[in-house]
Structures are given as structure tokens and as C-alpha cells.
């Protein structure tokens, strides 16, 4: 019989080793509980009829699945129980959600069900989250945090039962759920140096909508690497962390349908791009936007701000960043 170290035991020792408080343990226990509940709903969703469309659109203008609503409500419920969260930002809420502005310690930014178009097909989806701490040295101004201010960020890939989480200046770690529904077996994740396993991940149907410089970069580089694309950021990035390479979602500037143009990028900065960029940095990688600016340096102006994203192995990201900075704009080409 092999007994594994649990995530909460790992985290307890981590907090002690870095002389940090147990408040973070309480917050993470709520996030773990929410993820388990979402995974249960997802696994049983077909039987309960929870995998269909909710017949509404979210603030992003995207169709909302029933599971989107369910996941959002589950997470907010568990975050409320901690009394440690000041405010939360969710993809499924138009407004910033106030929870405990007087006594809370953390800001939580999350996408409750990344890749929800996969739900109806039973394919993997994600629950992405980033965590920042309040100002403990003076009055809190409640500003929206850039990724470099996060203290932790992570993602659950559902229903595969994996948790990947990064701690500021303490690495990226992966856990797997076991038969007792505990996340166990911490493994340090470091992006591989060898290019033999590296993968490129992007929506190939969009390649002709990218600006000219990006199209040329793809044409010159794609045959060197394996191509994989799941259509859910969490699932695709999960592979990149293990195999190396780069996930990219460039700005869409040449689409024949003007409504589908995304010159600023499509992914959300605070609860998608900054989350994976933070995990990637702690695993030895890098992430930039369409201008070659590091994702973690971008100061959000809006809680649903969008961005382009290039994230993965540092040599690849730095290489395409040179191309992005050389032109310096995302206009039609």
C-alpha cells in the first residue's frame, strides 16, 4: 500500500517553511472544495441534464452553459464561507463581487469553467484562479492587480482530476486526485529544455486572421514542433507545462466578419492570461501579449480586459516577442 502526501499537508508545510500565515490554507481549502463539487456536477451532468445551454449570454457576449452558472455559484458559495476574500472577479459576473471588504485578506480572480464549449461533448474543461493579497501596510485602495502582484495562481483540469498551482517565488506544482477525492502526490513542474517534446498550440482555423508578421512566424516555425489544440486554455496549457513549447492566441485582425475582429486579443487578462503566465513563470517560462509586453506587467484597466497571449517555453516566447515588438501594432495587414 502506497500512501501519498495530500495537497493540504503539502501546503501546511509550505506555509510554515516560508513563514506565512494559515489564512491562505483556509482560502485554498474553499477553492479545493469548490473544484471537487464542480467535478462531481460535471461527471454526473449528463444524467442530471446540466450540460446544455442556459439560453443566455455572459458579459463577454458568449453563450452561457448551465455548467457555467453552476460552477460560478459553487465557487462564490465556498469563497463566502472563508470570510477571507475581499472581492472576487468572475468571467460569469458583469460586476466585481464584494464579499468581505472590511475583514478580508485576498482578491480572487477566476474563470469558473474555461472551455465550456467542450462540456456538451464530455471533453476536459478548466477552473482557473489567481490570488492577490490586500495591502497589509496601509489602507487598501482595491485596485485591480497585475499578474506580478499575484501570490498564487492555479488551474484544475476537469474531469481528469488534476490541480496545477504556482506560488510566488516557490515553483509550480501538480497534484492528482485519488480515490478518496484528495489531491495528492506533489510533483514540481519545470518546463523541459529539450525541444524534442515541444508543442505548438493554437487555433489553426484562425491563422489567416493573424497579422502578417505572426502568420510568417508560424509558417517558418510550425514544422519544427508537434501541433496540438484542445480548444480549452487549461487543457492546452496543461500539455505545454509538461511537454514544453508554446500556446498562442494572437490578436484577430483580418477576419471577414467584423464582429469577430479582436485587435486587442480575445482571452481575459486577469483570470486567464495572468493566471497561466504566473504558473509559466514559476515553471521557468514566459508570456507576452501582442506587443511583446510581458503579461505579468500589464496593469488592468478593467476587470474583464482582453489580451492576446503567447505563453510557454522562454526561448520560443522570446523569439516571437521580437517579431511582435518589431512591428509594434495590430492593425489590419
Angle between helices 212-221 and 314-327 (to 10 degrees): 150
**Confidence at residue 165, expressed as pLDDT on a 0 to 100 scale:** 98
* Structure-block grid coordinates of residue 306: 482582453
CA distances from residue 169 to 17, 146, 150, 310 in whole angstroms, order as listed = 13, 16, 11, 22
**In sequence order, what are the residues at sequence separation of 6 or more whose Cβ sits closer than 8 angstroms to the Cβ of residue 226?**
197, 198, 199, 200, 243, 245
CA distances from residue 31 to 180, 198, 243, 247 in whole angstroms, order as listed = 17, 31, 27, 26
**Confidence at residue 332, expressed as pLDDT on a 0 to 100 scale:** 40
Predicted TM-score (pTM) of the model is 0.92
CA distances from residue 151 to 108, 131, 166, 238 in whole angstroms, order as listed = 11, 6, 8, 20
CB neighbour burial string for 120-131, b if at least 16 within 10 angstroms, e if fewer: eeeebbbbbbbb
**Confidence at residue 333, expressed as pLDDT on a 0 to 100 scale:** 38
**Confidence at residue 47, expressed as pLDDT on a 0 to 100 scale:** 55
Q: Which residue numbers in the chain have pLDDT < 70? A: 1, 46-65, 327-333
**In sequence order, what are the residues at sequence separation of 6 or more whose Cβ sits closer than 8 angstroms to the Cβ of residue 96?**
87, 88, 89, 303
Phi first, then psi, for residue 311 (nearest 5°) are: -140, 140
As a whole number of angstroms, the distance between CA 289 and CA 103 comes to 35
The number of residues making up the chain comes to: 333
Angle between helices 274-282 and 233-243 (to 10 degrees): 10
**In sequence order, what are the residues at sequence separation of 6 or more whose Cβ sits closer than 8 angstroms to the Cβ of residue 143?**
none
**Confidence at residue 330, expressed as pLDDT on a 0 to 100 scale:** 42
**Confidence at residue 51, expressed as pLDDT on a 0 to 100 scale:** 63
Amino acid at each position: 500500500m502506497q500512501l501519498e502526501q495530500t495537497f493540504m499537508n503539502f501546503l501546511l508545510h509550505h506555509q510554515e517553511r516560508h513563514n506565512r500565515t494559515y489564512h491562505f490554507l483556509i482560502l485554498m481549502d474553499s477553492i479545493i472544495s469548490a473544484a471537487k463539487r464542480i467535478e462531481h456536477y460535471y461527471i454526473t451532468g449528463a444524467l442530471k441534464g446540466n450540460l446544455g445551454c442556459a439560453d443566455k449570454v455572459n458579459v463577454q457576449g458568449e453563450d452561457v452553459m448551465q455548467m457555467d452558472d453552476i460552477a460560478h455559484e459553487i465557487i462564490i458559495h465556498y469563497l463566502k464561507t472563508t470570510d477571507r476574500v475581499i472581492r472576487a472577479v468572475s468571467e460569469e459576473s458583469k460586476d466585481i463581487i464584494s464579499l468581505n471588504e472590511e475583514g478580508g485578506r485576498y482578491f480572487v480572480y477566476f474563470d469558473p469553467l474555461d472551455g465550456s464549449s467542450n462540456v456538451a461533448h464530455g471533453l476536459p474543461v478548466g477552473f482557473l484562479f489567481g490570488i492577490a493579497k490586500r495591502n497589509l501596510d496601509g489602507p487598501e485602495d482595491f485596485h485591480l492587480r497585475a499578474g506580478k502582484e499575484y501570490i498564487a495562481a492555479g488551474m484544475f483540469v476537469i474531469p481528469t482530476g488534476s490541480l496545477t498551482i504556482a506560488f510566488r517565488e516557490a515553483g509550480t506544482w501538480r497534484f492528482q486526485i485519488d480515490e478518496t477525492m484528495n489531491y495528492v502526490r506533489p510533483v514540481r513542474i519545470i518546463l523541459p529544455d529539450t525541444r524534442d517534446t515541444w508543442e505548438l498550440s493554437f487555433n489553426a482555423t484562425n491563422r489567416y486572421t493573424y497579422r502578417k508578421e505572426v502568420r510568417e512566424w508560424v509558417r517558418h516555425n510550425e514544422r519544427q514542433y508537434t501541433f496540438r489544440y484542445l480548444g480549452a486554455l487549461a487543457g492546452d496549457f496543461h500539455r505545454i507545462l509538461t511537454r514544453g513549447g508554446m500556446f498562442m492566441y494572437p490578436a484577430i485582425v483580418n477576419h471577414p466578419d467584423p464582429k469577430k475582429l479582436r485587435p486587442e486579443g480575445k482571452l481575459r487578462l486577469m483570470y486567464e492570461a495572468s493566471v497561466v503566465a504566473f504558473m509559466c513563470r514559476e515553471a521557468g517560462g514566459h508570456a507576452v501579449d501582442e506587443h511583446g509586453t510581458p503579461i505579468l506587467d500589464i496593469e488592468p484597466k478593467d476587470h474583464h480586459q482582453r489580451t492576446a497571449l503567447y505563453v510557454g517555453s522562454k526561448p520560443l516566447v522570446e523569439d516571437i516577442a521580437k517579431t511582435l515588438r518589431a512591428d509594434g501594432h495590430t492593425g489590419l495587414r
